[in-house]
Amino acid sequence: MDVKILDGGFSGQLSTHVGAKIDGDPLWTSRFLATNPDAVYATHLDFLRAGADIIETNTYQVSVSDLMKYLSITKEDGINLLQDAVRLAKKAVNDYMKEIKGNDNVGNRNPIIAGSCGPYGSSLHDGSEYNGSYGKSTPRETMIEWHKSRIDSFIGAGIDLLALETIPCYQEAEMIVKLLREYPNVKAWLSFSCERNSRNLADGSNFQEVISRCYKMALPGQIIAVGVNCLPPKDVTGLLKDINKGSGSEFLPLIAYPNSCELYSPGIGWIEDKNCPPFESFIPEWLELGVRYLGGCCRMYADNIRSVRKEVYNYRQRKGI
């Protein structure tokens, strides 16, 4: 069983390196590509040292047009900044590999980089990325242009794969998979934002029907995993169960990187969910369901990723695999 460990929530870990405001900024962590690239590099290195096999660029909610708008820069400069996100991650990987040279006790010896591509709704700053309502009203061409600008930038910078993540509506999911087909040599994972305590996407669409349709739409082997992110850990199993049930069906590699066991309240911030079992306690059942890419999203720090890697190791030891 080959399980790849992802990094955690970039914003949270970045906050350990900077004193500036992060949440609420229209560019979110991407602003630091221009204002504090050293902190971006240091955050990547934190996750690599914690055992991440895959780190993501800090580009979740931006495109070239967003960088142009909020930094008052040219299109060329916007492209360069997006490519800087890849270059900083590459620098962290290269330096980390030099750091671990000769150390046979390190598990993540060949880390790779995923270009973070969050949903179009995250650029609207109206909360619609949490319900997917924009999927019905936004022209397909508008979403394509927004996504394509950064995908082209990532590919130009030599990205390893794409993280098509936190997608809340089926319209955008199908659009982005069709767009992906235009890049036959590029691989990606596809993860969704879902309703709490349900088996639906944030827009109410049936989760398993949408992922099945999208997986079949992609070119063979192009989507390396499908799954969920940015949700409470306790909601993961209900969404992923039955996908790989039955020996007659094709095995579908799954990905899960939920939030910590905390809940976000507007105006208050993050509040501990005292009824949530420890994050690590969910990992064995997720692995049994077919999760092969595992990490964390909001409020999951480098120390949490270290614990995730340890739990995966313990699981494999118990199973003798």
Distance CA 284, CA 303 (A): 19
Would you put residue 158 in left (φ > 0), alpha (ψ -120 to 50) or beta? left
169 is in an annotated binding site: no
Other CB atoms within 10 A of residue 130 CB: 16
Judge contact between 164 and 188, C-beta under 8 A: yes
Give CA–CA dist 55/298, Å, rounded: 14
Closest C-alpha among 248, 61, 260 to residue 168 = 61
Residue 230 counted as an annotated binding residue = yes
| CA 256 – CA 240 distance, rounded (Å) | 9
- Is 117 annotated in some ligand binding site? no
| Residue environment code for 267-282, b if the CB has 16+ CB neighbours within 10 A, otherwise e | eeeeeeeeebeebbeb
Looking at 42-135, which runs of residues are DSSP E strands?
54-56, 112-117
Binding residue ranges for Zn(2+): 230, 297-298
Which residues fall in the annotated binding site?
230, 297-298
